[in-house]
Homo-oligomer: A and B are copies of this chain.
Amino acid sequence: MERDRSAPVVGLDVPAEIGMPVEEIATPALIIELDQFQKNVKTLKDFIETHGVRLRAHAKTHKSADVARYQMSQGGACGVCCQKVSEAQALVSAGIDDVLVSNQVVDKRQIGHLAEMAKSARVMVCVDDAGNVDELAQAAQAAGVEIGCLVEIDVGAGRCGVQPGREAAVLAGRIAQARGLKFAGLQAYQGSAQHKAEFETRKALIGEAVRQVRETVDLLAAEGLGCEIVAGAGTGTFALEAQSGLYNELQCGSYVFMDADYQRILDENGEPVSMFGNSLFIVTSVMSKTRPGFAVCDAGLKAQSADSGLPRVHGRDGVTYIKWSDEHGVLEDPGDTLKLGDKVWLVPGHCDPTCNLYDTYVGVRDGKVECLWPVTARGRVF
C-alpha cells in the first residue's frame, strides 16, 4: 500500500515534528539551537548600533526567509545580500523587500529576472564590467524599474571586481549616466581575509582594503559621485571595517550560525574569537558499532560540506569524527562510550554550503523542537 504522498512523514520528508523531543529527530538533520541563534543576532545588532553602521545580513549563509525576517525585524538588518538572482527571488517571493545581489549578473535572462524582481522589492546588484552596465540599464528601462548598482572593486581577494581608483571611477560614471540605474556606491569585500586565523594578518589585509577604498571614494567624490553605500565585511573581519570610518554597510552572514572553521580564528590576544557561538549543528545517529574504539554515524558527505575540513564533535569528550564517505562518518571513540542509536551533535566545518544540502532547519530550544523552517532558496544556484 502506497502511503499518502501529500502527508509528510517524519524521517522521509521532514526530520521532525513541532514539540518533539530532540532525541526523536530523524537523522541526519540540520539543527538551529534557537537561544544561541538569537544571542548571535542580538550581539551583532548591539555592535552595529554602537558603531553607527548598517548591517545587510548575507542570506547566502542560510537561504532562509525565516532567518532573514528575524535578522531584519530583531537584528537591525536593513535588508539582505544574496549571491544569485534565483536565491534573491525565493526570498523576495517570501516577503523580503530589500535585496542586494552582491555578485555580478551577466546572463541576459537573469538580468531580466533581476529587473522583474525590482517591481516588488528594492533591488541592487554589483558590477565590474561596462557592457554589463549597459545591459542592466536596458533591462531596467524595459521593466520600468530602477536598479541600484555598486561598483565592485577587488581589494585583495583576487576574484571579481575592477581595480580600485581610476577603473572604478570610470565604471561609476557610466552607471551614473545610465537611465534605469542608480550609482549606489562600492562593493569592497575582502573575502580571502575572513578565515585567516591570526588577527594581525586579518588586520593588515583589511587595512590595505581600507586604503584602496579611501583612494576610490576620494576620487569619486572629486568627480561628484558620492557613495551612499560602502559595503563589505564578513564575520571574520567586520569589526575592522566598522572601525574604518569608511565602510558603512556590513555584510556578515556566518555570524548567525558559526562553524568549525570560523571558530579557529583568533582575536588580538591569540584567543578564539568568542563574540558569537555555534547555533548550527548536525545531529547524527550511531548506525553501526562493530569494532572496539570506533563507531559509524549516519552523517557523511551528503550531510555536510567537505571544503573546510571535518566537523567537530559537540559535547562528547574523547569522541572524534575522523573520516567521511558519502553516507557515513567514522567516529573514534577510545572509551567505547557510544552505542547503536546514540545521537551525536556535530559542528559543521563550513556553514554556508552545508545549509544548502538540507530542505529544513529544525529549530530547537530546551530539548524540544520549536519550529521547522524551510531552506527557502536551497539549490538556487542560478
* Chain A interface (Cβ < 8 Å from any Cβ of B): 1-3, 5, 9-13, 15, 26-29, 60, 83-86, 89, 93, 103-107, 109-110, 113, 116, 119-120, 128-129, 131-132, 154, 158-163, 191, 285-291, 294, 296, 298-299, 301-303, 305-307, 324-328, 330, 340-341, 350, 352-353, 356-359, 378-382
Contact = CB atoms under 8 A, between A and B. Distances in A.
Given A83-B327, A301-B353, A287 B381 contact: no
Nearest to A325: B191
**Most chain B CB neighbours (cut-off 10 Å) among A107, A290, A305:** A290
Contacts of A291: 154, 158
A311 to B, nearest CB: 13
Contacts of A382: 11-12, 15, 26-29
Nearest to A163: B290
A28 B113 contact: no
30 contacts: A1-B116, A1-B119, A3-B116, A10-B109, A11-B85, A11-B86, A11-B382, A12-B380, A15-B382, A26-B110, A60-B326, A83-B326, A83-B327, A84-B327, A104-B288, A105-B287, A106-B288, A107-B341, A128-B290, A131-B340, A158-B294, A158-B330, A162-B290, A191-B325, A301-B305, A301-B350, A301-B352, A302-B353, A358-B379, A378-B379
Contact of A107 (B27, B129, B131, B350): B27
